[in-house]
A and B are shown apart, each in its own frame.
Chain A
Amino acid sequence: MRRISSLQVARLAVILLVLAAFIRALVVGPVAVPVVIALLGAMVYLPMRLRRSFAEASDAASPGAVGISRRDAMKRLGLGGAAAVVPLAGLPAIASGSPPTQGEAPAVGPSGRIRQWGMLIDLRKCDGCQSQGTPPQCTLACIEGHLAPEPMEWIEVFEAEMSGGGTQFLPTPCQQCQNPPCVNVCPVTATFSSPEGVVLIDQDRCIGCRMCMAACPYDRRFFNWGEPAVPPEALLADYSFDHQVGAPKGTVLKCDFCPDMARAGSLPMCVQACPNDAIYYGDLEEDIATNGSAVVTFSDFMADNNSYRLKEELGTQPRVHYIPGHGEDVGRDRHTEGRLPTKWPWLERVKGAVTWSR
């Protein structure tokens, strides 16, 4: 009988330990853990195997030795060669796809179905706050409500040339696409569509690769390039996916569509702040929307006013609709150009904070 060396015992113990970890992870842990263990095991095992088959092959070649056949050694080596082409990363996405979850349940309408938040911006009423003599109020309210660091305008008022001359103002929040390019490309499912149809970001998971920024066709994503300039109260705010505050360095931020406020029965900051009541917000499922002073039937109001969506041809299916216009309903002359630049209201900044331009 062969004597068992201490090395063999140690090896056996290691194998048993790995096996135990493997089984335990298989039963309780996330799926990825056993996969990683198996791959690490394979990476250790294969070179050992390769080495052994060489040793055995050389035994077999020497006369009189009883070793494995040459064919056997070849097979093993060939197998080793093929198995060497494994992803070092393992097969991560086996455990894929689950978006982050948190406590608050989605809002449910009278029909018993989950509410589907949507927005309608009446450009006939938007004059870029020229009549107010201020920067766009929606942008300011959003910045103050979310403590968004400079230079992030989550709802940004662009000024676009019209085909017949003159300009129009285009308040542009995140378009909340139902076929969102940003969600598709996120490698770690840090940005995701909520059951209410809102695209959200988990700041604790975002790796800062900025793939979503490359994919977004609306320029509606913002990166925290440095320690952001936000007021001290940002540190006290409760962070949730539904309420993006606290702006951590190195992650992507954007308009969160204020679903937490909608659930609690109030309108998003931008809607509340608009002096011309140009922004409607509501539930596409119950087919009702309001700008704070009037309530409309969402679908009829859109149809009656020939609403459109930005870059419809891309197939992103935004949840933000527009009624064409250039502020004519609030008396704006289309040749009066320019909106005042947005200013960030807080002067005091956290230590080491920086600002940048877009």
Chain B
Amino acid sequence: MEPMTDEWEDRLEERVLAPTRASGRLWAIWVASLALIIIWGFVAYVYQWREGLYVTDMRDRISWGIYIAAFIFFTGISMAGTVISAILRVSNASWRTPIVRIAEAITAVGLVCGGLFIIVDMGHPERLYHFWINGNWQSPLMWDMMAITTYLTASVMYLYVPMIPDLAMFRDRLGDKVSWLQSWLYRTMAIGWNNNESQRKSLHRTVGILMVVIIPVAAVVHTVVSWIFAMTTRASWDSTIFGLFFVAGAIFSGVATLIIVLAVLRRVYHLEEYITLTHFKYLAYIMASMALVMIYSNVTEYLVPGYKMSEHEEFAFRQLFVEEFAKLYWFYVLGGLILPILIVSYKKTRTVGAFVVAAVFVNIGMFIERYLIVVAGMRIPLLSYEPSNYSPTWVEWSVVASGIAGFMMLLTLFAKFFPILAVWEMKEERAEETPSEPVVDPVDEPEPELEVAR
């Protein structure tokens, strides 16, 4: 392919390079406030480390709380990259091209944040090395550790490898205009990419392998996370649908997070030309259909044991539907499941703003859902004792807030220093489709040949 330089490409490169230039006061305030929240959460964690988990409201009978909920939530949203990027890449849906990079970044960042919550929840995190020397194959937590670290390396590679050509573009265009450290970073990470035929074929091949491998890995991760609960004998956890349910929930909240992050980055970095309403629509369609899957899973999860209504199940339903957790539960159902479907159903509400509102509700709803799985599940008494209660303390809220801030911070820094659009893929696609005209709506175009299949 001849190296093409035209106005469209210049504009694209300029857009992607723009974030690396001066960022303005608002950006600095944003980063500073995130940093403050992170530091505050860190202080809270140090306090917890010194005092013991006593400073949380977790106790023997509800021995997991909001940390574990946050762990599931963050590993859940890390599904975004896999769904959008790998699944759509495999199925050759070309509209995904401008949004894959951001989705992949969410995956890697979400996993890092999620993994940290397991550590935060532990009584003796300094003994983690026993996983290596005394690991127990039988334990679902060991499966989790294996699955998540596998997923982490895979998703970091899957973020990095398709980014190489764009890093090379950064290296060439920014080389001496940025600090030596940044310039060194691009030079090192571009590992000698000079965009020749042979390198491109190698790259396509590597990406092809990675994307095929990462899909089953992601499915395994979210299934295994559910098995931490499903492998116990507790009523409401002891369920065969949990694996599927968690995978669906992960796609659901992953896509919702992607919608929010895309909307923010599009606004901040003026990517309207590349990330269009069409993208949001398609993502919202995925989100709404996952909401239907969630409703289906919920009905199955509750109706099957509920029909028999054993003693523990009755307690579980009572606290969920009418008593302690009713407000949270119905917020999740109405705000997290019904609302996104309604918003997507009406033509009038198919706007970016409305989709973002729906996505925010979905994320809050899904966090609540994770929280209810953990806390409501543990609250069911195992023997004749009064059920205990749990409400997170300031330490727990601080650490969770710091985790969320950390997620935003990592994404902010990623957007600042790395190419947020898959420039080379967009160029290639455009060259293949209609070299002379700008792409208006890639979806209406005939499907291009699958890049990676060659």
Q: Show the binding face of A for B, using Cβ within 8 Å.
A: 30, 32, 36, 47, 50-51, 53-55, 57-58, 60-61, 70, 73-74, 76-78, 80-82, 84-93, 95-98, 158-161, 170, 172, 181, 184-190, 205-211, 213-219, 221-227, 249-252, 314, 354, 356-358
Minimum Cβ distance to chain B for residue A72 (Å): 10
Please name the residue on chain A nearest to B202 by beta carbon: A77
Is A225 a contact of B52 with CB atoms below 8 Å? yes
Q: Which among A92, A206, A223 is the interface contact of B63 at CB below 8 angstroms?
A: A223
Contacts of A87 in B (CB 8 A): 145-147, 149-150, 153
Minimum Cβ distance to chain A for residue B132 (Å): 4
* One of B19-27, B207-215, B321-329, B347-355 contacting the partner: B207-215
Is B128 a contact of A207 with CB atoms below 8 Å? yes
Q: Which among A57, A161, A224 is the interface contact of B198 at CB below 8 angstroms?
A: A57
Q: Which among B132, B233, B382 is the interface contact of A90 at CB below 8 angstroms?
A: B132
Question: Size range of the interface on B?
Answer: 35 or more
Is A208 a contact of B122 with CB atoms below 8 Å? yes
Is B384 a contact of A215 with CB atoms below 8 Å? no
Please name the residue on chain B nearest to A226 by beta carbon: B54
Alpha-carbon distance between A228 and B429 when the two chains are bound, in angstroms? 64
Q: List 21 A-B contacts (CB under 8 A).
A: A36-B132, A76-B202, A85-B153, A85-B154, A85-B213, A92-B131, A93-B136, A96-B134, A97-B136, A172-B383, A185-B138, A185-B140, A205-B127, A207-B124, A216-B382, A219-B381, A223-B63, A226-B52, A354-B51, A356-B54, A358-B61
Is A61 a contact of B141 with CB atoms below 8 Å? no
Please name the residue on chain B nearest to A36 by beta carbon: B132
Taking A87-B150, A187-B131 as contacts, is the C-beta distance between A61 and B196 under 8 angstroms?
yes
Minimum Cβ distance to chain A for residue B125 (Å): 7
Mask for B109-135, Cβ within 8 A of A = 1, else 0?
000000000100111110110111111
Overall SS of chain B's interface:
helix
Whether, in the assembled complex, B315 has its beta carbon less than 8 Å from a beta carbon of chain A, the answer is no
Whether, in the assembled complex, B192 has its beta carbon less than 8 Å from a beta carbon of chain A, the answer is yes
> 6 closest A-B pairs (Cβ-Cβ)?
A208-B123, A226-B54, A250-B123, A88-B149, A84-B157, A81-B206
Minimum Cβ distance to chain B for residue A65 (Å): 11
Alpha-carbon distance between A187 and B124 when the two chains are bound, in angstroms? 13
Q: Show the binding face of B for A, using Cβ within 8 Å.
A: 51-56, 58-61, 63-64, 118, 121-125, 127-128, 130-142, 145-147, 149-150, 152-154, 157, 161, 191-194, 196-199, 201-203, 205-207, 209-210, 213-214, 217, 228-229, 231-234, 378, 381-385, 388
Contacts of B122 in A (CB 8 A): 207-209, 250
Q: Which among B134, B139, B146, B194 is the interface contact of A58 at CB below 8 angstroms?
A: B194
Alpha-carbon distance between A86 and B223 when the two chains are bound, in angstroms? 18
Q: How many A-B residue pairs have CB under 8 A?
A: 258
Minimum Cβ distance to chain B for residue A161 (Å): 7
Please name the residue on chain A nearest to B141 by beta carbon: A187
What 17 additional pairs, Cβ within 8 angstroms, besides A90-B132, A223-B63?
A36-B132, A57-B199, A74-B205, A82-B213, A89-B132, A92-B132, A95-B134, A97-B136, A187-B136, A189-B134, A207-B130, A209-B118, A211-B140, A223-B123, A226-B52, A250-B53, A357-B59
Minimum Cβ distance to chain B for residue A208 (Å): 2
Alpha-carbon distance between A30 and B135 when the two chains are bound, in angstroms? 12
Is B199 a contact of A54 with CB atoms below 8 Å? yes
Minimum Cβ distance to chain B for residue A244 (Å): 16
Contacts of A314 in B (CB 8 A): 233
Is B123 a contact of A84 with CB atoms below 8 Å? no
Minimum Cβ distance to chain A for residue B328 (Å): 21
Alpha-carbon distance between A82 and B207 when the two chains are bound, in angstroms? 10
Is B153 a contact of A158 with CB atoms below 8 Å? no
Contacts of A357 in B (CB 8 A): 59, 388
Contacts of A219 in B (CB 8 A): 60-61, 381-383, 385
Q: Which among A55, A80, A96, A98 is the interface contact of B137 at CB below 8 angstroms?
A: A96
Please name the residue on chain B nearest to A98 by beta carbon: B134
Alpha-carbon distance between A73 and B192 when the two chains are bound, in angstroms? 14
Minimum Cβ distance to chain A for residue B72 (Å): 13
Is A205 a contact of B196 with CB atoms below 8 Å? no
Q: Which among B137, B157, B192, B384 is the interface contact of A81 at CB below 8 angstroms?
A: B157
Minimum Cβ distance to chain A for residue B393 (Å): 12
Taking A98-B134, A185-B138, A210-B64 as contacts, is the C-beta distance between A81 and B161 under 8 angstroms?
yes
